Amino acid sequence: MEGLKRYWPLLLIAAMLIGGIVWYQARQAEERRVEEELAQAQGIVRVLSATFSNKTALKVGEINGTLDVTSVDPGAVPLLRSSQKATLPYSVGYTLDLKDLGADDYAWDPKARTLVIRVPLVAADPPNIDESRRDVAGTSGIFVTRGASTNLQRRASQLATAEAGRIAAEPANLAKAQANAEKLVADLARAPLDAAGLGPVTVRVVTPASGVRDGERWDVSRTIEQVLADRQR
């Protein structure tokens, strides 16, 4: 025991040295991990910025069909009242606006190797009415003037445009277009990430209001831009 007590200070110093070496190595490993994550984040920002820089708007879907409308021209006097039934084909496209997509819309989780991209909601384009395929089922009136005929056609187009816009704004159609948009953005992002040699990366696309997909909650509170700013301070 006396001999052990004699060497106790040396053993304590040796233990402290070993502990210091272990702590230093752990710190070095952590710094390397942070640098690797930073490089990954910077690489992702560069790759995605190049991918989406020329894609300010993406067409992500379209609906089309035909509409039966009845237009009425009141005429200058009641006897000149006329009406017309017509069928008009229509189409409405859906667009995803990406012009404001920036680094603050990307969130990177290095542990899960998951990239979350926030995109805006899709918007329906103005309806397109194919006048060249207008089918007039019948016109009624005692006397249909040329001006009345023009008014009937114009009114039919207005009615068809309004109805096509209403159909395009239905939640089911918007939801389908939004799902198409998110899949398209994920596919566009995944290809260049694979080509850049970043390895397997899971890409999740959400809207600012969602953040929840398939029963999982994705934290998009810290973006790549914020992470880079914090680590460069």
What is the length of the chain? Answer: 233
CA 78 to chain centre: 53
H/E element holding 87?
strand 82-97
Q: What proportion of the chain, given as a percentage, has pLDDT over 70?
A: 64
How does residue 212 score in pLDDT terms, banded at 50, 70 and 90?
very low
In the predicted structure, residue 201 carries a pLDDT above the cut 90: no
Q: Domain residue spans in the chain? A: 2-231
Q: What is the pTM of this model?
A: 0.70
Q: Which residues lie closer than 8 Å to 55 by C-beta, 6 or more apart? A: 98, 188
